Protein backbone atom coordinates (compact mmCIF):
# COMPACT_ATOMS: atom_id res chain seq x y z
CA UNK A 1 0.00 0.00 0.00
CA UNK A 2 1.18 3.52 -0.74
CA UNK A 3 0.44 4.97 2.68
CA UNK A 4 -1.64 7.65 1.01
CA UNK A 5 -5.12 8.84 1.72
CA UNK A 6 -7.59 8.65 -1.13
CA UNK A 7 -6.95 11.50 -3.55
CA UNK A 8 -9.92 13.85 -3.41
CA UNK A 9 -11.04 16.47 -5.84
CA UNK A 10 -13.37 19.13 -4.52
CA UNK A 11 -16.95 18.35 -5.42
CA UNK A 12 -19.86 16.40 -4.08
CA UNK A 13 -20.11 13.62 -6.64
CA UNK A 14 -18.99 10.15 -5.56
CA UNK A 15 -16.27 8.83 -7.84
CA UNK A 16 -15.44 5.12 -7.95
CA UNK A 17 -11.64 4.89 -7.76
CA UNK A 18 -10.77 1.40 -6.49
CA UNK A 19 -12.10 -2.17 -6.83
CA UNK A 20 -11.17 -5.33 -4.96
CA UNK A 21 -12.68 -8.81 -4.67
CA UNK A 22 -12.18 -12.04 -2.80
CA UNK A 23 -13.52 -15.56 -3.17
CA UNK A 24 -13.00 -18.42 -0.74
CA UNK A 25 -10.73 -21.06 -2.30
CA UNK A 26 -13.09 -24.07 -2.19
CA UNK A 27 -14.97 -24.53 -5.49
CA UNK A 28 -18.12 -26.66 -5.64
CA UNK A 29 -19.10 -27.85 -9.12
CA UNK A 30 -22.54 -28.88 -10.31
CA UNK A 31 -21.33 -32.47 -10.36
CA UNK A 32 -20.29 -32.11 -6.70
CA UNK A 33 -23.86 -31.01 -5.89
CA UNK A 34 -25.32 -33.84 -7.96
CA UNK A 35 -23.49 -36.34 -5.75
CA UNK A 36 -25.43 -34.97 -2.75
CA UNK A 37 -28.75 -33.83 -4.17
CA UNK A 38 -31.28 -34.87 -6.81
CA UNK A 39 -29.90 -32.52 -9.48
CA UNK A 40 -27.57 -32.56 -12.46
CA UNK A 41 -25.01 -30.41 -14.24
CA UNK A 42 -27.34 -30.31 -17.26
CA UNK A 43 -30.32 -29.01 -15.21
CA UNK A 44 -28.33 -26.36 -13.37
CA UNK A 45 -26.54 -25.12 -16.49
CA UNK A 46 -29.66 -24.98 -18.63
CA UNK A 47 -31.92 -23.38 -15.98
CA UNK A 48 -29.40 -20.99 -14.41
CA UNK A 49 -26.16 -20.83 -16.46
CA UNK A 50 -24.17 -21.62 -13.31
CA UNK A 51 -21.26 -24.06 -13.41
CA UNK A 52 -19.35 -23.50 -10.17
CA UNK A 53 -19.69 -21.63 -6.89
CA UNK A 54 -17.23 -21.07 -4.03
CA UNK A 55 -17.97 -21.99 -0.43
CA UNK A 56 -16.30 -20.55 2.66
CA UNK A 57 -14.57 -22.90 5.10
CA UNK A 58 -16.37 -23.37 8.43
CA UNK A 59 -13.82 -21.13 10.13
CA UNK A 60 -14.37 -18.29 7.62
CA UNK A 61 -17.07 -15.70 8.32
CA UNK A 62 -18.42 -12.84 6.23
CA UNK A 63 -16.03 -10.35 7.84
CA UNK A 64 -13.05 -12.45 6.72
CA UNK A 65 -14.16 -12.24 3.09
CA UNK A 66 -15.02 -8.55 3.48
CA UNK A 67 -11.60 -7.69 4.94
CA UNK A 68 -9.80 -9.36 2.02
CA UNK A 69 -11.95 -7.58 -0.57
CA UNK A 70 -11.66 -4.28 1.29
CA UNK A 71 -7.87 -4.57 1.51
CA UNK A 72 -7.71 -5.14 -2.24
CA UNK A 73 -10.04 -2.23 -3.01
CA UNK A 74 -7.86 0.10 -0.93
CA UNK A 75 -4.79 -1.15 -2.77
CA UNK A 76 -6.53 -0.62 -6.11
CA UNK A 77 -7.31 2.96 -5.01
CA UNK A 78 -3.69 3.35 -3.81
CA UNK A 79 -4.90 4.39 -0.39
CA UNK A 80 -4.72 3.09 3.14
CA UNK A 81 -7.43 5.20 4.74
CA UNK A 82 -11.03 6.17 4.11
CA UNK A 83 -13.53 8.23 6.12
CA UNK A 84 -16.30 5.60 6.40
CA UNK A 85 -17.10 1.94 5.77
CA UNK A 86 -20.49 0.73 4.54
CA UNK A 87 -20.96 -3.04 4.36
CA UNK A 88 -23.88 -4.71 2.58
CA UNK A 89 -24.66 -8.19 3.83
CA UNK A 90 -27.51 -10.56 4.69
CA UNK A 91 -25.12 -12.87 6.52
CA UNK A 92 -23.39 -10.76 9.18
CA UNK A 93 -20.91 -12.49 11.48
CA UNK A 94 -23.46 -12.09 14.31
CA UNK A 95 -26.96 -10.61 14.66
CA UNK A 96 -25.31 -7.98 16.88
CA UNK A 97 -23.15 -5.96 16.48
CA UNK A 98 -22.90 -5.00 12.80
CA UNK A 99 -20.00 -6.51 10.88
CA UNK A 100 -18.66 -3.26 9.36
CA UNK A 101 -16.94 -1.93 12.52
CA UNK A 102 -15.02 -5.20 12.88
CA UNK A 103 -13.99 -5.01 9.21
CA UNK A 104 -12.90 -1.37 9.63
CA UNK A 105 -10.83 -2.31 12.68
CA UNK A 106 -9.20 -5.27 10.94
CA UNK A 107 -8.31 -3.05 8.01
CA UNK A 108 -6.63 -0.60 10.41
CA UNK A 109 -9.02 2.20 9.49
CA UNK A 110 -9.20 3.61 13.02
CA UNK A 111 -12.44 4.96 14.44
CA UNK A 112 -14.24 5.84 11.22
CA UNK A 113 -18.02 5.43 11.05
CA UNK A 114 -18.84 1.87 9.96
CA UNK A 115 -22.22 0.24 9.60
CA UNK A 116 -24.10 -2.51 7.76
CA UNK A 117 -26.81 -2.10 5.16
CA UNK A 118 -29.43 -4.81 4.66
CA UNK A 119 -31.06 -4.97 1.25
CA UNK A 120 -30.31 -8.61 0.43
CA UNK A 121 -29.06 -9.01 -3.16
CA UNK A 122 -29.57 -5.27 -3.83
CA UNK A 123 -27.39 -4.50 -0.81
CA UNK A 124 -24.34 -3.41 -2.77
CA UNK A 125 -26.31 -0.76 -4.68
CA UNK A 126 -27.97 0.47 -1.49
CA UNK A 127 -24.54 0.67 0.16
CA UNK A 128 -23.15 2.47 -2.87
CA UNK A 129 -25.98 5.00 -2.71
CA UNK A 130 -25.39 5.40 1.03
CA UNK A 131 -21.70 5.98 0.48
CA UNK A 132 -22.48 8.54 -2.23
CA UNK A 133 -24.84 10.25 0.22
CA UNK A 134 -22.12 10.45 2.89
CA UNK A 135 -19.92 12.18 0.33
CA UNK A 136 -22.69 14.48 -0.96
CA UNK A 137 -23.45 15.71 2.58
CA UNK A 138 -19.78 16.27 3.39
CA UNK A 139 -19.86 13.61 6.10
CA UNK A 140 -17.04 11.74 4.36
CA UNK A 141 -14.56 12.54 1.61
CA UNK A 142 -13.99 8.86 0.86
CA UNK A 143 -15.92 5.67 1.61
CA UNK A 144 -15.12 1.98 1.41
CA UNK A 145 -18.27 0.19 0.17
CA UNK A 146 -18.26 -3.59 0.56
CA UNK A 147 -20.71 -6.31 -0.45
CA UNK A 148 -19.99 -9.62 1.28
CA UNK A 149 -22.06 -12.72 1.90
CA UNK A 150 -21.68 -16.31 3.04
CA UNK A 151 -25.02 -17.74 1.92
CA UNK A 152 -23.64 -21.24 2.44
CA UNK A 153 -24.40 -20.61 6.14
CA UNK A 154 -28.11 -20.00 5.60
CA UNK A 155 -28.98 -22.46 2.82
CA UNK A 156 -31.01 -25.56 3.61
CA UNK A 157 -28.65 -28.46 2.83
CA UNK A 158 -31.63 -30.32 1.32
CA UNK A 159 -32.90 -27.47 -0.90
CA UNK A 160 -31.60 -28.14 -4.41
CA UNK A 161 -33.04 -24.96 -5.90
CA UNK A 162 -31.10 -22.58 -3.62
CA UNK A 163 -28.00 -24.77 -3.22
CA UNK A 164 -27.63 -24.76 -7.02
CA UNK A 165 -27.60 -20.99 -7.21
CA UNK A 166 -25.81 -19.36 -4.31
CA UNK A 167 -22.11 -19.07 -3.54
CA UNK A 168 -19.98 -17.08 -1.11
CA UNK A 169 -17.77 -14.08 -1.89
CA UNK A 170 -16.97 -10.42 -1.37
CA UNK A 171 -16.33 -7.33 -3.45
CA UNK A 172 -15.53 -3.75 -2.53
CA UNK A 173 -15.08 -0.35 -4.11
CA UNK A 174 -13.60 2.91 -2.88
CA UNK A 175 -15.59 6.08 -3.49
CA UNK A 176 -14.03 9.54 -3.22
CA UNK A 177 -15.47 13.00 -3.60
CA UNK A 178 -15.02 14.52 -7.02
CA UNK A 179 -16.66 16.14 -9.97
CA UNK A 180 -19.79 14.82 -11.65
CA UNK A 181 -18.07 14.81 -15.06
CA UNK A 182 -15.12 12.67 -14.01
CA UNK A 183 -14.85 9.04 -15.16
CA UNK A 184 -16.18 6.89 -12.32
CA UNK A 185 -18.63 9.53 -11.04
CA UNK A 186 -21.88 7.84 -9.99
CA UNK A 187 -25.10 9.11 -11.49
CA UNK A 188 -28.13 9.54 -9.22
CA UNK A 189 -28.90 6.06 -7.87
CA UNK A 190 -32.37 4.65 -8.57
CA UNK A 191 -33.63 2.60 -5.62
CA UNK A 192 -36.95 0.97 -4.80
CA UNK A 193 -38.70 -1.50 -2.53
CA UNK A 194 -41.99 -3.36 -2.27
CA UNK A 195 -42.61 -4.93 1.13
CA UNK A 196 -45.82 -6.55 -0.07
CA UNK A 197 -43.48 -9.12 -1.61
CA UNK A 198 -41.43 -9.65 1.55
CA UNK A 199 -42.49 -13.29 1.76
CA UNK A 200 -40.91 -14.17 -1.59
CA UNK A 201 -37.36 -14.19 -0.20
CA UNK A 202 -37.04 -14.89 3.53
CA UNK A 203 -35.12 -16.30 6.44
CA UNK A 204 -38.24 -16.70 8.55
CA UNK A 205 -36.82 -17.45 11.98
CA UNK A 206 -34.08 -15.85 14.04
CA UNK A 207 -35.49 -12.32 14.23
CA UNK A 208 -37.92 -10.58 16.60
CA UNK A 209 -41.00 -12.08 14.87
CA UNK A 210 -39.84 -15.63 15.38
CA UNK A 211 -36.82 -15.90 17.68
CA UNK A 212 -34.92 -19.16 17.46
CA UNK A 213 -34.78 -19.60 21.22
CA UNK A 214 -37.76 -21.18 22.92
CA UNK A 215 -37.82 -19.42 26.27
CA UNK A 216 -40.29 -16.79 25.05
CA UNK A 217 -40.05 -13.02 25.26
CA UNK A 218 -39.15 -11.42 28.55
CA UNK A 219 -41.30 -8.78 30.21
CA UNK A 220 -44.62 -10.41 29.41
CA UNK A 221 -45.17 -11.60 32.95
CA UNK A 222 -45.74 -15.20 32.02
CA UNK A 223 -42.28 -16.45 31.20
CA UNK A 224 -42.94 -16.96 27.55
CA UNK A 225 -46.63 -16.79 26.72
CA UNK A 226 -46.52 -13.44 24.93
CA UNK A 227 -49.44 -14.00 22.65
CA UNK A 228 -50.47 -16.27 19.87
CA UNK A 229 -47.41 -16.39 17.69
CA UNK A 230 -45.00 -18.15 20.01
CA UNK A 231 -47.27 -20.48 21.93
CA UNK A 232 -45.26 -23.64 22.32
CA UNK A 233 -48.20 -25.86 21.42
CA UNK A 234 -49.27 -24.54 18.02
CA UNK A 235 -46.24 -22.53 16.88
CA UNK A 236 -44.70 -23.68 13.59
CA UNK A 237 -41.26 -25.24 13.72
CA UNK A 238 -38.56 -22.56 13.45
CA UNK A 239 -37.06 -22.30 9.99
CA UNK A 240 -33.57 -20.77 10.08
CA UNK A 241 -32.95 -21.27 6.37
CA UNK A 242 -33.09 -18.98 3.34
CA UNK A 243 -36.24 -19.60 1.26
CA UNK A 244 -37.06 -18.23 -2.15
CA UNK A 245 -40.16 -18.45 -4.32
CA UNK A 246 -38.05 -18.84 -7.45
CA UNK A 247 -40.57 -18.22 -10.21
CA UNK A 248 -42.17 -15.10 -8.69
CA UNK A 249 -38.72 -13.72 -7.85
CA UNK A 250 -37.59 -14.39 -11.41
CA UNK A 251 -40.49 -12.40 -12.89
CA UNK A 252 -40.08 -9.49 -10.48
CA UNK A 253 -36.31 -9.42 -10.96
CA UNK A 254 -36.60 -9.03 -14.73
CA UNK A 255 -39.18 -6.24 -14.56
CA UNK A 256 -37.58 -4.29 -11.74
CA UNK A 257 -33.98 -4.46 -12.99
CA UNK A 258 -34.97 -3.53 -16.54
CA UNK A 259 -37.16 -0.63 -15.45
CA UNK A 260 -34.67 0.70 -12.87
CA UNK A 261 -31.89 0.48 -15.46
CA UNK A 262 -33.91 2.44 -18.00
CA UNK A 263 -34.65 5.10 -15.38
CA UNK A 264 -30.97 5.35 -14.39
CA UNK A 265 -29.99 5.62 -18.05
CA UNK A 266 -32.55 8.34 -18.65
CA UNK A 267 -31.30 10.29 -15.62
CA UNK A 268 -27.77 10.01 -17.03
CA UNK A 269 -29.02 11.36 -20.34
CA UNK A 270 -28.35 8.07 -22.17
CA UNK A 271 -30.42 6.33 -24.84
CA UNK A 272 -30.45 2.52 -24.69
CA UNK A 273 -28.06 2.50 -27.66
CA UNK A 274 -25.58 4.50 -25.55
CA UNK A 275 -25.32 1.80 -22.87
CA UNK A 276 -22.05 -0.04 -23.41
CA UNK A 277 -22.35 -2.42 -20.45
CA UNK A 278 -25.16 -3.49 -18.14
CA UNK A 279 -23.50 -5.14 -15.15
CA UNK A 280 -26.44 -6.83 -13.46
CA UNK A 281 -26.76 -8.82 -10.26
CA UNK A 282 -25.71 -12.32 -11.28
CA UNK A 283 -28.79 -14.31 -10.28
CA UNK A 284 -29.52 -16.44 -13.33
CA UNK A 285 -28.39 -16.28 -16.96
CA UNK A 286 -32.01 -16.44 -18.12
CA UNK A 287 -32.74 -13.37 -15.99
CA UNK A 288 -29.78 -11.47 -17.50
CA UNK A 289 -31.01 -12.27 -21.00
CA UNK A 290 -34.61 -11.36 -20.18
CA UNK A 291 -33.53 -8.02 -18.67
CA UNK A 292 -31.51 -7.19 -21.81
CA UNK A 293 -34.39 -8.23 -24.06
CA UNK A 294 -36.92 -6.14 -22.11
CA UNK A 295 -34.59 -3.13 -22.45
CA UNK A 296 -33.93 -3.91 -26.14
CA UNK A 297 -30.24 -4.02 -25.29
CA UNK A 298 -28.03 -6.53 -27.13
CA UNK A 299 -27.41 -9.45 -24.75
CA UNK A 300 -23.66 -9.35 -25.31
CA UNK A 301 -23.53 -6.01 -23.50
CA UNK A 302 -24.38 -7.80 -20.22
CA UNK A 303 -21.17 -9.33 -18.83
CA UNK A 304 -21.66 -12.80 -17.34
CA UNK A 305 -19.78 -14.05 -14.30
CA UNK A 306 -22.32 -16.34 -12.64
CA UNK A 307 -21.10 -19.33 -14.63
CA UNK A 308 -17.97 -19.26 -12.46
CA UNK A 309 -19.21 -18.05 -9.07
CA UNK A 310 -23.01 -18.45 -8.95
CA UNK A 311 -25.16 -15.87 -7.21
CA UNK A 312 -22.96 -14.23 -4.57
CA UNK A 313 -25.75 -11.94 -3.29
CA UNK A 314 -24.37 -8.56 -2.12
CA UNK A 315 -20.97 -9.38 -3.62
CA UNK A 316 -22.18 -10.12 -7.12
CA UNK A 317 -21.92 -6.69 -8.77
CA UNK A 318 -18.34 -5.88 -7.67
CA UNK A 319 -17.29 -9.43 -8.51
CA UNK A 320 -18.87 -9.11 -11.97
CA UNK A 321 -17.25 -5.69 -12.49
CA UNK A 322 -13.85 -7.06 -11.56
CA UNK A 323 -14.19 -10.07 -13.82
CA UNK A 324 -15.44 -7.97 -16.74
CA UNK A 325 -12.59 -5.47 -16.32
CA UNK A 326 -9.97 -8.19 -15.93
CA UNK A 327 -11.14 -9.95 -19.11
CA UNK A 328 -11.39 -6.80 -21.21
CA UNK A 329 -15.19 -6.87 -21.33
CA UNK A 330 -15.32 -3.57 -19.44
CA UNK A 331 -12.87 -0.84 -20.43
CA UNK A 332 -12.33 2.77 -19.35
CA UNK A 333 -14.92 5.09 -20.82
CA UNK A 334 -17.64 2.45 -21.15
CA UNK A 335 -21.04 3.89 -20.28
CA UNK A 336 -21.97 1.37 -17.60
CA UNK A 337 -25.18 0.61 -15.75
CA UNK A 338 -25.23 -1.38 -12.52
CA UNK A 339 -28.50 -3.02 -11.51
CA UNK A 340 -29.70 -5.46 -8.87
CA UNK A 341 -32.79 -7.06 -7.38
CA UNK A 342 -33.26 -8.89 -4.12
CA UNK A 343 -35.31 -9.71 -1.08
CA UNK A 344 -37.42 -7.02 0.50
CA UNK A 345 -38.32 -6.82 -2.28
CA UNK A 346 -35.63 -4.32 -3.23
CA UNK A 347 -34.06 -3.16 -6.47
CA UNK A 348 -31.80 -0.47 -7.84
CA UNK A 349 -29.66 0.84 -10.67
CA UNK A 350 -26.86 3.36 -11.08
CA UNK A 351 -24.96 4.79 -14.06
CA UNK A 352 -21.27 5.62 -14.38
CA UNK A 353 -18.59 5.91 -17.02
CA UNK A 354 -16.09 3.17 -16.21
CA UNK A 355 -12.86 4.71 -14.83
CA UNK A 356 -9.26 3.68 -15.50
CA UNK A 357 -8.36 1.50 -12.52
CA UNK A 358 -6.73 -1.82 -11.82
CA UNK A 359 -8.99 -4.27 -9.99
CA UNK A 360 -7.15 -6.23 -7.30
O1 LIG B 1 -30.64 -13.15 -5.83
C2 LIG B 1 -31.95 -12.74 -5.62
C3 LIG B 1 -32.72 -12.92 -6.84
N4 LIG B 1 -32.82 -14.34 -7.14
C5 LIG B 1 -33.25 -14.72 -8.31
O6 LIG B 1 -33.46 -13.85 -9.12
C7 LIG B 1 -33.51 -16.17 -8.58
C8 LIG B 1 -34.74 -16.27 -9.43
N9 LIG B 1 -35.22 -17.61 -9.69
C10 LIG B 1 -34.54 -18.52 -10.42
O11 LIG B 1 -33.43 -18.30 -10.81
C12 LIG B 1 -35.27 -19.78 -10.77
O13 LIG B 1 -36.62 -19.67 -10.42
C14 LIG B 1 -34.67 -21.05 -10.13
C15 LIG B 1 -33.32 -21.34 -10.75
C16 LIG B 1 -34.53 -20.87 -8.63
C17 LIG B 1 -35.55 -22.23 -10.39
O18 LIG B 1 -35.72 -22.40 -11.78
P19 LIG B 1 -37.20 -22.58 -12.40
O20 LIG B 1 -37.00 -22.83 -13.81
O21 LIG B 1 -37.99 -21.39 -11.98
O22 LIG B 1 -37.68 -23.88 -11.70
P23 LIG B 1 -38.90 -24.08 -10.68
O24 LIG B 1 -38.59 -23.50 -9.36
O25 LIG B 1 -40.18 -23.70 -11.35
O26 LIG B 1 -38.88 -25.63 -10.60
C27 LIG B 1 -39.15 -26.45 -11.74
C28 LIG B 1 -38.76 -27.87 -11.36
C29 LIG B 1 -39.34 -28.28 -10.01
O30 LIG B 1 -39.68 -29.65 -10.08
P31 LIG B 1 -41.21 -30.08 -10.25
O32 LIG B 1 -41.93 -29.48 -9.06
O33 LIG B 1 -41.64 -29.48 -11.55
O34 LIG B 1 -41.15 -31.55 -10.24
C35 LIG B 1 -38.15 -28.12 -9.09
O36 LIG B 1 -38.22 -28.98 -7.98
O37 LIG B 1 -37.35 -27.94 -11.25
C38 LIG B 1 -37.02 -28.53 -9.99
N39 LIG B 1 -35.75 -28.04 -9.54
C40 LIG B 1 -34.60 -28.71 -9.81
N41 LIG B 1 -34.36 -29.83 -10.48
C42 LIG B 1 -33.07 -30.23 -10.57
C43 LIG B 1 -35.46 -26.92 -8.83
N44 LIG B 1 -34.13 -26.85 -8.61
C45 LIG B 1 -33.59 -27.94 -9.20
C46 LIG B 1 -32.28 -28.43 -9.32
N47 LIG B 1 -32.07 -29.56 -10.02
N48 LIG B 1 -31.21 -27.77 -8.79
Q: What's the CA gap between 267 and 18, in Å, rounded? A: 24
Ligand 1 atom index nearest CA of 33: 48
Kindly state whether residues 250 and 341 are assigned to the same domain: yes
pLDDT for residue 330 is more than 90: yes
Exposed/middle/buried for residue 188 (C-beta within 10 Å: 0-12, 13-18, 19+): middle
Kindly state whether residues 114 and 65 are assigned to the same domain: yes
pTM: 0.94
Structural domain count of the chain: 2
Kindly state whether residues 145 and 194 are assigned to the same domain: no
Over residues 304-320, the pLDDT tens digits come to 999 999 999 999 999 99
Kindly state whether residues 306 and 169 are assigned to the same domain: no
In a domain, 267, yes or no: yes
Check if 311 is active-site.
Answer: yes
In a domain, 72, yes or no: yes
CATH number of the domain enclosing 262: 3.40.47.10
Kindly state whether residues 43 and 162 are assigned to the same domain: yes
In a domain, 324, yes or no: yes
In a domain, 161, yes or no: yes
Catalytic residue among 281, 305, 323, 334: 281
- Taking CA atoms only, the protein residue closest to ligand 1 atom 8 is 250
Average pLDDT estimate for 184-213? 96
Report yes or no: 138 and 12 within 8 Å, Cβ to Cβ.
yes
- Taking CA atoms only, the protein residue closest to ligand 1 atom 20 is 47
What whole-number percentage of the chain has pLDDT above 90? 89
Kindly state whether residues 153 and 59 are assigned to the same domain: yes
Kindly state whether residues 141 and 255 are assigned to the same domain: no
Ligand 1 atom index nearest CA of 160: 48
Kindly state whether residues 74 and 121 are assigned to the same domain: yes
In a domain, 237, yes or no: no
- Cβ of residue 90 lying under 6 Å from some atom of ligand 1: no
Kindly state whether residues 132 and 194 are assigned to the same domain: no
Ligand 1 atom index nearest CA of 284: 11
- Taking CA atoms only, the protein residue closest to ligand 1 atom 39 is 161
Check if 30 is active-site.
Answer: no
Give the Å distance between the CA of 209 and the centre of ligand 1.
28
- Taking CA atoms only, the protein residue closest to ligand 1 atom 11 is 284
In a domain, 139, yes or no: yes
Over residues 270-306, the pLDDT tens digits come to 999 999 999 999 999 999 999 999 999 999 999 999 9
Report yes or no: 261 and 339 within 8 Å, Cβ to Cβ.
yes
Q: What ranges make up the beta strands (E) of the chain?
A: 13-22, 26-29, 52-55, 84-88, 114-117, 142-149, 169-178, 190-193, 201-203, 242-244, 277-280, 335-342, 346-353
- Cβ of residue 230 lying under 6 Å from some atom of ligand 1: no
Kindly state whether residues 195 and 156 are assigned to the same domain: no
Kindly state whether residues 194 and 122 are assigned to the same domain: no
In a domain, 338, yes or no: yes
Catalytic residue among 311, 323, 334, 350: 311
In a domain, 3, yes or no: no
Domain membership of residue 268 as a residue range: 190-199+243-353
Query: Which one of 147, 178, 209 terminates a domain?
Result: 178
Kindly state whether residues 80 and 134 are assigned to the same domain: yes
Q: What's the CA gap between 260 and 265, in Å, rounded? A: 9
Name which residue leads in pLDDT, 171 or 213.
171
Amino acid sequence: MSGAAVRRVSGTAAVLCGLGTWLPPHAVTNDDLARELDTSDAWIRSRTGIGTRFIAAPSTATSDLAVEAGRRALKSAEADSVDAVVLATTTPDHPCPATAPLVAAQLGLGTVPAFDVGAVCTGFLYALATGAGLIATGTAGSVLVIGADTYSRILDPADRSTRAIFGDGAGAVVLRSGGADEPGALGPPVLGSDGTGSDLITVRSGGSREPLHTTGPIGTGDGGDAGDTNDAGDAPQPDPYFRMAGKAVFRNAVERMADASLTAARRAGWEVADIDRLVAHQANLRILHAVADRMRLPRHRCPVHLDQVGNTAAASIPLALSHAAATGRLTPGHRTLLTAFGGGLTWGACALRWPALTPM
